[in-house]
């Protein structure tokens, strides 16, 4: 167990243009050809087969053979609708030679270009003997016309923390280390922190968190911190903190287990979102709840066919020990719901079915509240932080029926797995004014402009805006 890991980033944003700054011209195939560049530049581009396609960089040299500037391809404005297009700055962060740079003229969607530049420069090299950031050198960029550089950095830093937490393997990010990371974050912002650990979970009535996590050598726990003024609207974030998911006695195959250090991706993402909210001092009474467990196998592991009594009182028949996320979330959601908050948001790497439906890059979300759902969809598009609403399809609730308990944790046919998981959770939220559930992947399997392969911040830049605008 170690303390909060530190991320490296080769990219930084400058408040002012540096004295030795070199220009970057943003081009498209059309603007490259339309006459603003001298013939020497066009000849150099042609010699390099450089066409100015989105994401392509061409460095320019002076007569001494020193790099004097660069051309960087962006999406044409009319094709700029895709989230990838507006986050193209992420590629620039990885391609630029070390040193100081500035964007010549104005960038479209300058804020997104800037945040993607920082997101794209993220490097997880905590376990590398030769840190590649040093080999490659760092890049600093000045972009004119940014309205709030502190806000841009806030979003990027919080996202980097989220990615660090996910990337750190379970050997250094078990329930105890996740607690320490949350405690460090809470302390840094003056939040009030508690954790209910091990058998105290039984005494304080969190039976399902205990049952799922008790087979691990590292005790299960419920992380709980609150921040802000008691008189402000209550916003509670709940994150699935399964630090490793073997599947339990319904053990996963090797291929399905390989990535399961990321099963605390929901917790990592709500911690990133909490960091944004606290750092910006949004006028809310924030609470963060994270059931942190390892779904392990041992003689005392919970079993298929066991019947658990939840904190809420409903009994739950265990149809599959690999559907553990909804169990630990149910007890945490019940606690969240007990103080009638204005908003509960939960995030969880809950189902493989969500990936079958929408793939790794487009997390589904669920809410009964039309206005909230519309706002989430709007901000997901505006921030290029994709999220897609799926239905809490009430008729499917019957699939969760149990012959011996109040509810089963799985359905028998497995259809609509992300929907039925969401419906399971909905049984434990009754008093909150608005509830939103986000079934995220928490991982980037194929490099994108603003995300390298590894742990992923998903939806939290969008949700930060939703919260910011809801409580102005």
3-state secondary structure of 253: coil
- Closest approach of Mn ion to the CB of residue 122, in Å: 27
Which of the choices Mn ion, ligand BES, Zn ion, none does residue 410 contact, using the CB cut-off of 5 to 8 A by kind? ligand BES
Contact mark string toward Zn ion, 255..274, x via CB under 5 A = --------x-----------
* Residue 324 sits in the site that holds ligand BES (CB under 6 A): yes
* Residue 250 sits in the site that holds Mn ion (CB under 5 A): no
Nearest residue to ligand BES, by Cβ distance, number only:
352
* Residue 323 sits in the site that holds ligand BES (CB under 6 A): yes
- Closest approach of ligand BES to the CB of residue 246, in Å: 10
* Residue 246 sits in the site that holds ligand BES (CB under 6 A): no
Nearest residue to Zn ion, by Cβ distance, number only:
245
Is residue 295 a contact partner of residue 213, using CB atoms and an 8 Å limit? yes
Cβ distance to Zn ion smaller for residue 75 or 324:
324
Q: Which residues of 137-153 are buried (b: 16+ CB within 10 A; e: fewer)?
A: ebbbbbbeebeeeebbb
- Closest approach of ligand BES to the CB of residue 218, in Å: 18
Handedness of CA 242, 248, 250, 253 (dihedral sign): positive
Contact mark string toward Mn ion, 178..217, x via CB under 5 A = ----------------------------------------
Beta bridge partners of 342: none
Handedness of CA 339, 340, 342, 348 (dihedral sign): positive
> Dihedrals φ, ψ of 130, to 5°?
-100, 100
The CA distance from 464 to 470, in Å, is 10
Restricting to residues 347-376, name those near ligand BES by CB under 6 A. Answer: 349-353, 355
Applying CB under 6 A, among 329, 332, 344, 410 the residue interacting with ligand BES is 410
Question: What residues are labeled active site?
Answer: 252, 326
* Nearest residue to 165 via CA among 216, 239, 224, 114: 239
* Residue 417 sits in the site that holds ligand BES (CB under 6 A): yes
* Residue 296 sits in the site that holds ligand BES (CB under 6 A): no
The CA distance from 131 to 137, in Å, is 10
- Closest approach of ligand BES to the CB of residue 444, in Å: 13
* Nearest residue to 470 via CA among 383, 379, 380: 379
Restricting to residues 423-462, name those near ligand BES by CB under 6 A. Answer: 441
Is residue 421 a contact partner of residue 350, using CB atoms and an 8 Å limit? yes
The CA distance from 456 to 443, in Å, is 5
Determine which helix (DSSP H) or strand (DSSP E) holds 179, and give its type and residue range: helix 175-188
- Closest approach of ligand BES to the CB of residue 129, in Å: 31
Per the listing, tokens 């053990």 go with 251
Determine which helix (DSSP H) or strand (DSSP E) holds 330, and give its type and residue range: helix 325-337
* Residue 75 sits in the site that holds Mn ion (CB under 5 A): no
Using alpha carbons only, give the angle 421, 422, 423 rounded to the nearest 5 degrees: 90
- Closest approach of Zn ion to the CB of residue 271, in Å: 18
Contact mark string toward Mn ion, 210..249, x via CB under 5 A = -----------------------------------x----
Residues near ligand BES, by CB under 6 A: 245, 263, 320, 322-325, 349-353, 355, 410, 417, 441
Residues near Mn ion, by CB under 5 A: 245, 322, 324
């Amino acid at each position: 167990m170690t303390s909060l890991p530190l991320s490296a980033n080769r990219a930084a944003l400058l408040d002012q243009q540096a004295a030795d700054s070199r220009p970057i011209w943003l081009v498209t195939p059309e603007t490259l050809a339309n006459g603003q560049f001298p013939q020497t530049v066009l000849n150099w581009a042609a010699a390099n087969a450089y066409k100015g396609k989105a994401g392509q960089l061409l460095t320019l040299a002076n007569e001494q053979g020193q790099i004097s500037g660069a051309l960087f391809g962006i999406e044409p404005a009319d094709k700029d609708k895709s989230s990838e297009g507006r986050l193209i700055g992420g590629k620039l962060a990885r391609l630029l030679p070390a040193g100081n740079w500035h964007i010549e003229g104005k960038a479209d969607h300058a804020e997104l270009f800037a945040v993607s530049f920082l997101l794209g420069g993220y490097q997880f090299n905590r376990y590398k003997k030769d840190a590649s950031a040093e080999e490659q050198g760092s890049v600093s960029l000045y972009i004119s016309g940014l309205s709030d550089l502190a806000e841009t950095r806030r979003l990027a830093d919080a996202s980097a923390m989220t990615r660090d937490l996910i990337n750190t393997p379970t050997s250094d990010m078990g329930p105890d280390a996740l607690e320490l990371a949350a405690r460090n974050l809470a302390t840094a912002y003056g939040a009030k922190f508690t954790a209910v650990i091990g058998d105290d979970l039984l005494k304080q009535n969190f039976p399902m968190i205990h049952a799922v996590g008790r087979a691990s050598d590292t005790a299960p726990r419920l992380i709980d911190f609150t921040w802000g003024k008691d008189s402000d609207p209550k916003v509670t974030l709940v994150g699935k903190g399964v630090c490793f998911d073997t599947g339990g006695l319904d053990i996963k195959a090797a291929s399905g287990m390989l990535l399961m250090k990321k099963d605390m991706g929901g917790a990592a993402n709500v911690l990133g979102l909490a960091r944004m909210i606290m750092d910006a001092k949004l006028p809310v009474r924030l609470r963060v709840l994270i059931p942190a467990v390892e779904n392990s196998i041992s003689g005392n592991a919970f079993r298929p066919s066991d019947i658990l009594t939840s904190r809420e009182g409903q009994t739950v028949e265990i149809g599959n020990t690999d559907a553990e996320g909804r169990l630990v979330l149910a007890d945490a959601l019940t606690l969240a719901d007990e103080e009638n908050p204005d908003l509960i948001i939960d995030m969880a790497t809950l189902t493989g079915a969500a990936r079958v439906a929408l793939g790794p890059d487009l997390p589904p979300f669920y809410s009964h509240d039309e206005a909230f759902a519309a706002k989430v969809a709007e901000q997901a598009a505006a921030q290029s932080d994709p999220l897609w609403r799926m239905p809490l399809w009430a008729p499917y609730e019957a699939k969760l029926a149990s012959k011996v308990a109040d509810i089963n944790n799985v359905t028998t046919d497995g259809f609509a797995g992300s929907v039925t998981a969401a419906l399971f959770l909905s049984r434990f939220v009754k008093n909150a004014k608005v509830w939103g559930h986000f079934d995220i992947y928490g991982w980037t399997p194929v490099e994108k402009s603003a995300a390298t392969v590894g742990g992923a911040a998903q939806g939290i830049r969008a949700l930060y805006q939703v919260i910011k605008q809801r409580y102005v």
